Amino acid sequence: MHPLYANLLAADLLFYNIHKEDYDPISDILNFWDNYDLESIHQYLLDLSILIAEDVKNLKFGLERERIQEFLLALIRTAIAYYVAHLRKLELKDIELSIANNVASEVEFKRSRIIFDFFKSI
């Protein structure tokens, strides 16, 4: 399959999967936070913005384009999951994220805890 079509199919599947009867937005949310800490999210977003500006030679963290695309799909999947959880009025307060496993420093943990608590509150 042509790489462009594979990327389009992957993006379309994000929206298709939410209509499946067994779709669980909470698992997508947990999966995202298990795979990405705030520092890596920052790195991916920065390199993504540089890629969008087509300044590939100056990628700050040198992340591969495929890894950035995977991150972008994971980020979109998580945003959709939060939206579906909101529509279904699911209690996000009941989930616990193992943020401490992904965080290198206490400062990072405190920052990520504030963000987690924010999303729990909505």
Asked whether the beta carbons of 37 and 72 are under 8 A apart, the reply is no
Q: What is the mean pLDDT of residues 12-31?
A: 90
pLDDT value at residue 76: 93
CA angle 42, 89, 32 (to 5 degrees): 25
7-12 average pLDDT score: 80
Predicted confidence at residue 83, as pLDDT, reads 93
Comparing 110 with 84, the larger pLDDT belongs to 84
> What is the CA 55 to chain-centroid distance, rounded?
23
Tokens linked to 40:
């890596």
What are 90-117's pLDDT values in tens digits? 888 777 665 555 555 567 777 777 888 8
What residue spans define the domains of the chain?
3-90
- Measure the CA–CA gap between 18 and 77, rounded to whole angstroms: 9
